[in-house]
Amino acid sequence: MSSIIQLLPDHVANQIAAGEVVQRPASVVKELLENAVDAKATDIKLIVKDAGKSLVQVIDNGNGMSVTDARMCFERHATSKIRHAEDLFTIHTKGFRGEALASIAAIAHVELKTKQEFDELGTHIIIEGSKFITQDPSVLPKGTSFAVKNLFFNIPARRNFLKSETVEHRHIVDEFQRVALAHPSIHFTFIHNGSELFNLPSSNLRQRIVAIFSGKTNEKLVPVFEETEIVQVNGFISKPEFSKKNRSEQFFFVNNRYIKSGYLHHALMAAYEGLLKDGMQPGYFIYLEVPPNTIDINIHPTKTEIKFDDEHALYAILRSTAKHSLGQFNVAPVLDFERDPNLDTPYHYQNKDASTPLIQVNSNFNPFAEDKATMNFGGSIYRERKTENAHWESLYIGLKNDTKEIESFPFEQEAVSSSLFNVTEIEESKNRTYQIQKKYILSSIKSGMMVIDQKRAHQRILYEQYLKNMTVQQASSQHLLFPLEIYFSTNEIHLMKELKAALENTGFIFDVIESDKIIISGIPIQVTESEVSIVLDELVNDLQDGIPESSFSQNDSIAKSMARSLAVKTGTYLTEKEQENIVNGLFACKEPDVSPFNKPTFITISVDDLDKKFAI
């Protein structure tokens, strides 16, 4: 019987490895940027076209590669970072597996240009699907240029599973930000479809954070620093009042490598205990320096998960450090045991008797004196104002003494009813609504009663209203006396530009959309001025993972987000008129049964059900 187990060809093995290493264009960006950092580059340029589907190119001025290295770097498990198994426990570089370039070359068209500083000529290599097309010497500047074109050209199924350009671009920006934040001393440039999105010169950590997230980021940051034998903690955390509902500004770095750690995130959330509203997330940029032999970063292909030797100690140190910074910079409330010495009672007053206050009384004062025009009261002079009451009869001269009309005026007589309640009161009580626990609205119907969830009902009303306004493009706006300035990060500004047309159909009027802020001169009628920033923040948060391609889906997403933000909240007291408006508005909708999120808006309880409850 012939053997059935055989070795896979290299190009097949590389394509299988690519499934783990290269999941989307952002994975290519991450690997190429980290290789440029490992090459000790001081200037790195990222060029992307069509969200990485057509081109991902990274140009650096690093050490470059020799002819042999340029060819070897595309072999599986070929790396310059480790030599022995023990090296895995003392890793100081980004890439060390030797899988990335081989995997990328297996599923794309790759063009490599590289040259070392003291070489006369560089090397130019073209690879298509693991197949070497050409390798020629070429005149090149110092450094390396990797161009990855037509990603997944030979795996159409994987290419079809890629998301929209907006979503893929968002992932690329995330990877770029993580590498740029980890290395503020390196000059980074990001160009997408010919337009420059980021130009980050070499700077310190705080300047790099502000340059990436722009806006009022500098006002949000509180420095954090602690040095122990186990770990050195450095970085910044945000003030509680600048917290958001998303986690877009949360970064952990261990030895300049971005990681994800729910355990360390919980430590920081514990430091903010009592300072954040429900559902809000603080921003933080935490850099941890630990001995390389105390961590294991070889547990995931993307190397974003790390195993620590002593997680409990790191948890306690990080929590106490963040809590100390919040208290030190007067962000968290603290007990003040210092007292102002000026408020203390002087010692020479200790045996001193209290002085009796002097009271002056005018013994000649008579309040019943009528012939006095001037009276002295308590040392003060008051002048009596006499009322001129003479000839008071003249006030009534000219009035007719005619009472015929009054006598002939018909008075309505109240009809005496034998019933306990008036008929009008009974009719009003039929249409009356009641609010229960500031959450539900109770209304009577013929078959019994109806219980309406006020929040979900209002969401349905607002959703259909905004969807109609965006479809018909006839929304009403209220102009502001003073335009509003709202600051956003670069990514959020990019999102707002794409949403501008749809938001204008809901009633917003944008004057200017700059690189870090937007200026609004008009808002929808249902939105108050204080709610504008909240509504837009939640809208950006809801659409952070990508804007739908079709206009209807885009309008639907915006209408849902705004309805959720502006709907009356549970626990809000409603007047009888407001309750009535919600009930009438709900049953004027096309689909009153469910909210925009497919949750029931009301339930009915029949009289028979009530009778069964009382029959027990």
* pLDDT digits 0-9 by tens, 292-345: 887 776 655 556 777 788 889 899 999 999 999 988 876 665 555 565 666 666
CB burial of residue 341 (10 Å; 0-12, 13-18, 19+): exposed
pLDDT in tens, 588-599: 999 999 999 999
Q: Over the stretch 506-528, which tens digit does the pLDDT of each residue have?
A: 889 998 888 778 999 999 888 88
Q: How many Å apart are CA 477 and CA 507, to the nearest integer?
A: 5
Q: Which residue has the higher pLDDT, 360 or 435?
A: 435
Average pLDDT over residues 394-407: 57
Give the model's pLDDT for residue 181.
Answer: 94
CA-to-CA distance for 49 and 59, rounded, in angstroms?
15
Indicate the SS3 state at residue 261: coil
What is each CA distance from 480 to 103, 530, 563, 566, in whole angstroms? 56, 12, 22, 19
**What are the residues whose beta carbons fall under 8 Å from the beta carbon of 601, sequence distance 6 or more?**
452, 453, 456, 457, 460, 586, 592, 593, 594, 595
Give the pair of three-digit tokens for residue 548.
Answer: 């739908």
Beta-sheet strand order (sheet of 131-138): 131-138, 122-128, 109-115, 143-149, 55-60, 43-49, 187-192, 195-200
- The SS3 assignment for 159 reads helix
How confident is the model over 552-584, as pLDDT tens digits? Answer: 778 888 889 889 888 998 888 999 899 999 999
Q: What's the confidence (pLDDT) of residue 156? A: 84
The pairing of strands 433-436 and 440-445 is antiparallel
Q: State the pLDDT at residue 42.
A: 94
Q: What percent of the chain has pLDDT over 90?
A: 31
- Give residue 17's pLDDT: 58
Tokens 């009301």 sit on residue: 602
Which of 441, 458, 471 has its CA nearest to residue 592? 458
Whether residue 410 has pLDDT greater than 80 = no
Task: Give the model's pLDDT for residue 421.
Answer: 46
Tens digits of residue pLDDT in 447-504: 889 999 999 999 999 999 988 888 887 778 888 888 998 888 777 888 888 888 888 8
* DSSP code, position 615: T
Alpha carbon 604 to chain centroid distance?
Answer: 38
Mean pLDDT of 540-562: 77
Residue 354 pLDDT level (bands cut at 50, 70, 90): confident
The answer, yes or no, to whether residue 233 has pLDDT greater than 50, is yes
Task: Say yes or no to pLDDT of 111 above 60.
Answer: yes
Q: What is the pLDDT of residue 167?
A: 82
- pLDDT above 80 for 392: no
Asked if residue 147 has pLDDT above 70, the reply is yes
With a CB cutoff of 8 Å and minimum separation 6, the contacts of 497 are: 513
Q: What pLDDT is stored for residue 382 in this prediction?
A: 47
- pLDDT at position 386: 47
Segment 368-375 shows an average pLDDT of 58
Helix (H, G, I), strand (E, B) or coil at 299: coil
More confident residue, 255 or 79: 255
CB 255 within 8 Å of CB 292:
yes
The model's confidence at residue 384, banded by pLDDT at 50, 70 and 90, is very low
The model's pTM is: 0.72
Q: Tell me what the mean pLDDT of segment 109-119 comes to.
A: 92
Retrieve residue 567's tokens: 């709907």
What is the pLDDT at residue 423? 45
Angle at 444 between CA 438 and CA 450, to 5 degrees: 60
The residues, any chain, with a CB within 8 Å of residue 343's CB and separated by 6 or more, are: none
- Rounded to an integer, the average pLDDT of 384-389 is 50
315 CA to centre of own chain: 25
Domains of the chain: 10-200 (3.30.565.10), 205-328 (3.30.230.10), 440-603 (3.30.1370.100)
Cα–Cα distance measured from residue 283 to residue 26, given in angstroms and rounded to the nearest whole number: 23
Reported as a single tens digit per residue, the pLDDT across 156-211 is 888 888 888 878 888 899 999 999 999 999 999 999 998 888 999 999 999 999 99
Start-end of H helices in 100-244: 100-106, 156-160, 165-182, 205-213, 217-220
What pLDDT is recorded for position 153?
87
Q: Is the pLDDT of residue 76 over 80?
A: no
Residue type, 511: D
User: Can you tell me whether residue 129 is helix, strand or coil?
Assistant: coil
Q: Phi then psi for 511, rounded to 5 degrees?
A: -85, -50
* pLDDT value at 291 more than 80: yes
User: Is a pLDDT exceeding 60 seen at residue 276?
Assistant: yes
> Which residues fall within 8 angstroms of residue 3, CB to CB, at 6 or more apart?
none
Look over the chain and give the mean of its residue pLDDT values, rounded to a whole number.
81
Amino acid (1-letter code) at residue 356: T
Question: Token pair for residue 588?
Answer: 């004027």
- Predicted confidence band of residue 75 (pLDDT cuts 50, 70, 90): confident
pLDDT given at position 252 = 93
The Cα 196–Cα 570 span in angstroms is 45
DSSP letter, residue 76: T
Contacts 24+ apart (CB under 8 A), 195-200: 197/173, 197/490, 197/494, 198/490
Terminal C-alpha separation, the chain: 79
Q: What is the pLDDT of residue 68?
A: 87
Of the candidates 86, 84, 78, 81, the residue with the CA atom closest to the CA atom of residue 96: 81
Q: How far is residue 210's CA from residue 201's CA, in Å, rounded to a whole number?
A: 12
Q: Determine what percent of the chain is predicted with pLDDT higher than 70.
A: 77
Model pLDDT for residues 27-46, shown as the tens digit of each residue: 899 989 988 998 899 999 99
Contact at 8 Å (CB) between 181 and 285? yes
- Strand, helix or coil at 501? helix
